[in-house]
Chains A and B, each alone.
Chain A
């Protein structure tokens, strides 16, 4: 939602709600009720999670690895899930941001042949609408192919390609973020007036140079907004983690201790930690689930805050 650019609604001083017919007044108050309910629901969620988070606050959770133990004082914290979430955020953004920007630039600046552009446009829409659990299942079959088995986890001395790893999960997660990056970048590019491009051409720049030197820098806030929105969705997704990283809690290094080994290893994220520690995952450690969920919620709120800040800083020479 963009800030209101519409002028003030048409009203007359004599148009007071109490003089309206009953039907209209019902609608009016229903609108107020709906709006206030939204605020109440959001407030309740944040306050309740903050309360639980404060109640079960434990700094040690950040540095302890999770342990499978029935005694909850021995079951550790969520150090590994935190690393997993960070890893997935970095990897999936590294895939989604360049790909999304490329697609957006092609759609807005070239878009020829137009039939193909329309098809790509609706394809991005289809990706946006595909449930993450379906993306996860697709990722599983895709990464089970033998020729890319070096990207996924395999246990010592076994040839079975499970199709699971941080890389596989990040690749599928990037598809969640992709449509958001494309959408925000397109919006930013469309907001750049045509005369800016023409000025660049008049100075002898090619189209490619104009895109790189003029349009992309101008669209940077839009790209940032889309990426941050996408990161929020990636951090909050559970289905892909459950399918593509499995039910292990600790980070399970693939081959050796190298960074690439970590990428093709298995692990968990904050979301799967919450899921498996909730009654649904039979972890039966609601206090740990609450605290992890609180941290997750904080992360998402911070990303949201970043989005708002970036969107506010959208001041360009030609908008002044």
Chain B
């Protein structure tokens, strides 16, 4: 490239900046297209869309079987069981995963001997890279039958037989596998943050007589709090959108698991929004049904967008310690 040729600095800057702005156009387009498609479903139901009432599976069936005349399209949907399923699965996995990821991150940064660390770091990367369909396959062919045969007693199955069928696939298995899937993301963020804590701060605490655990817990973990929040938020965004694995192991019934049921709660089937979406894509060509599915996508899009931005904001205070988000 000759200096002073066609590609002057000003031109290059404008070109690169223009390309970078494609991402902005993309997000604007995403919101516009998805909401434009989703609008009829929201407009017909109003806030009741988010409420409960009736069986979601039956409502979806009615929408699918609407008459061909646009004036008589059926849109009635009360998506609460799906929203509740998404919420319970996500929050469960993030809470369990957070504790686990924090302990593992402390282990990697502080306590693990070199030899174990040399194994652990590839292990974390591997767990993050295993495709969700492989997790789902192991879940549906190994864990679900095991839970169904050995962990759920016949009494328990009979106690709820008139409401819902317990066959092993359910909330607990979904949360368990989802936890394994999101823990690596959290570990990566928390480890980076713990490593970035200024060395002098930790030495100061050690000089005052604190043991290694205390130094870690009171100095490093506290300093890394923004990163821990960011890790939780970003993992929530990931968990929210997990569709394939959950549709394979979480029971695929639009049932809202009830915490009052005690242990049975963990075995009750559920179906998060993303799974409902992926399981019903064959019906996309039916206009009102497709619009309902786009409404699911719109809800997921807005929530994941808010979570991503919150995670981005939460990571900012760490910048002063030299950790680039």
Contact residues of A with B, CB < 8 Å? 1-2, 4-7, 9-12, 15, 20, 24-25, 27-28, 30-35, 37-39, 41-43, 45-46, 48-49, 99, 102-103, 105-107, 110, 112, 116, 119-135, 137-138, 140-142, 175, 178, 186-187, 190, 204-209, 211-213, 232-233, 235-239, 242-243, 247, 271, 274-275, 278-280, 286, 289-290, 293, 296-297, 300-301, 303-304, 307-308
Contacts and interface: CB of A to CB of B under 8 A. Distances in A.
Contact of A45 (B1, B130, B140): B130
A225 B194 CA distance: 23
Contacts of B222: none
B183 interface: yes
Contacts of B217: 24, 27
Given A48-B138, A106-B19, A212 B1 contact: yes
B175 interface: no
B55 interface: no
Contacts of A138: 29-30, 33-34, 297
Contacts, number: 300
Given A9-B202, A134-B241, A307-B125, 16 more contacts: A1-B108, A25-B213, A34-B103, A35-B104, A49-B134, A120-B21, A123-B27, A129-B308, A130-B301, A130-B308, A131-B304, A239-B278, A274-B133, A274-B134, A275-B248, A296-B133
A122 B202 contact: no
B interface, size bucket: 35 or more
Instruction: Identify the interface centre among A32, A35, A103, A238: most chain B CB within 10 Å of its CB.
Output: A35
Given A130-B304, A133-B274, A300 B311 contact: no
A129 B33 contact: no
A205 to B, nearest CB: 7
B305 interface: yes
Contacts of A107: 20
22 contacts: A15-B212, A31-B110, A33-B103, A35-B103, A39-B123, A45-B127, A99-B19, A99-B22, A106-B16, A120-B23, A129-B238, A129-B311, A134-B300, A137-B297, A141-B294, A178-B23, A237-B131, A278-B136, A279-B140, A300-B130, A301-B129, A303-B129
A4 B304 contact: no
Contact of B248 (A105, A142, A278, A286): A278
B131 A11 contact: no
Contact of B1 (A120, A132, A209): A209
Interface string B114-140: 001101111111110111111011101
A128 B41 CA distance: 27
Interface stretch (B3-11, B44-52, B63-71, B76-84): B3-11
9 interchain residue pairs of minimum CB distance: A131-B241, A236-B131, A129-B308, A10-B206, A34-B103, A106-B16, A35-B107, A31-B107, A129-B237
Contacts of A239: 243-244, 274, 278
